[in-house]
A and B are shown apart, each in its own frame.
Chain A
């Protein structure tokens, strides 16, 4: 299946033949169970192939045999770093298919909590990306801030990672007592922490030599491959679903979309850091204007979308995460298709890595910010 041709022409004794190297699936910097088959000339990558599927759980098939309300917890297990965003795709798809009017307070709480989840996801990306490249300190600091967000999730949803955050028609519970104070405290402390990461990384000569000019992709190629999220915006393409097709309460928020210029690893790092600042801005605004009222719409006893198909997508932390849903009018979906951002972003790996060193492959996998639970489903 993965046959790589090796040219073993040795002109002198000092020449090394081309070599095939297996990276993963147990390699720590592949961020899960990704197997990368590298064809090397010395330390230079001249060909590359990805082998995925080690974490396949058949979630799309499972969804065909569950009621609409039961499918939401499985969505948390796709991109488990951003379970709150993933759950939102599913419930919004079902709601929009059924034309359910969701209360305004639920929309605002969804906006706050998905933005917090974006910050948590970017923090874990920063932690592991910096660790892969060799900056261990940032790992400890970023996980410390992520812990604060996970504590808010635990108090709000009852779980830290796979939250099962939303229900069709709204939320399981209203915000807990002290929710505003907790979020406000995090939002107040966060800019200082972000500045600390920048102090350690942005000017650091080791960080610059490991990221600047590594894994360059031009805007045209990024669009052609279908990249989305920060990986696309790092190349300077202004595409964000929060702006172009607003969902939840994003239409009422004021925020900017950071864009990179060169499309290299360093620009994607800057884009994500700036995105965390913008997320903080959104959380601040939503918290100020948080309306009162119910958080749940009136639901029919059995959730049954009308016959037809529907596609809805949101801007997840890693890119456009979408759901294509086909309903035959029964209580169970006929087909659920996930549009995973990580899988499509991973396709750029070969193009990004060719000509670079093996050590840069680690940096490039980190900068794409993939999660294997989402790729294999």
Chain B
């Protein structure tokens, strides 16, 4: 197989020009006597078959010597997975649990932190009176979150100063249309209705 550039070598039953085929030949280690004996009695195959048989039995009785269980497959639609608390899933705008006002102060920090520009914070000014004096205050009007472009990197969650924007454990984000990926304030606050399929 050590042919130089442009050499003509015999491959099969015809001559063919092979370019740049200067592969070093590998020395296959000569099998020792014990290896030969093991091969003759097919020990290399039988030890593998013994292991797979052990696994087959383990799957039937759901037992394994190492991990303690033999079946690893998650039965997803029937058994919902237990997602970790830090999971970056569907976004949510948290509300004050007592007053049910939004915690968002319309500071726009999440929109600035987002690498993909998928957050739009629309604020409006309202007149309030603080200690008898009229003041203007910026409050949240509408919050647009485009989940189709979201990378779920959680930079917005880290930027939020009031723990309002949060990525939750909800992971089922599929919709029937592209417009369904754009979440408005109502969806972010109330959560989206997910269809739970049961038999």
Contacts and interface: CB of A to CB of B under 8 A. Distances in A.
A80 interface: no
Interface stretch (A111-119, A189-197, A250-258, A277-285): A189-197
B48 A200 contact: yes
B158 interface: yes
Contacts, number: 119
Contact of B72 (A44, A72, A144, A355): A144
Contact of A70 (B11, B12, B45, B113): B113
B179 interface: no
Interface string A153-166: 01111110010100
Interface in A183-203: 189, 192-193, 196, 199-200, 203
Interface string B1-43: 1000000000111101111110111111000000000110001
Contacts of B43: 203
Interface of B: 1, 11-14, 16-21, 23-28, 38-39, 43-45, 47-48, 51-52, 65-67, 72, 83-88, 113-115, 151-155, 158, 167
Nearest to B51: A199
A96 interface: no
Contacts of A306: none
A158 B39 contact: no
A158 B87 contact: yes
20 contacts: A15-B14, A44-B12, A44-B16, A66-B115, A69-B155, A72-B153, A137-B52, A154-B86, A158-B87, A159-B152, A162-B151, A162-B152, A164-B155, A172-B154, A199-B51, A204-B44, A212-B28, A262-B27, A263-B26, A351-B20
Interface string A38-52: 000110101100000
Given A200-B51, A205-B45, A216 B13 contact: no
B12 A42 contact: yes
Contacts of B48: 199-200, 204
Nearest to B14: A15
Contacts of A218: 24
A159 B87 contact: yes
Contacts of B151: 73, 162, 164
Given A41-B12, A156-B86, A199-B51, 4 more contacts: A147-B72, A203-B47, A355-B1, A355-B21
B154 A42 contact: no
A74 interface: yes
B74 to A, nearest CB: 9
A374 B95 CA distance: 41
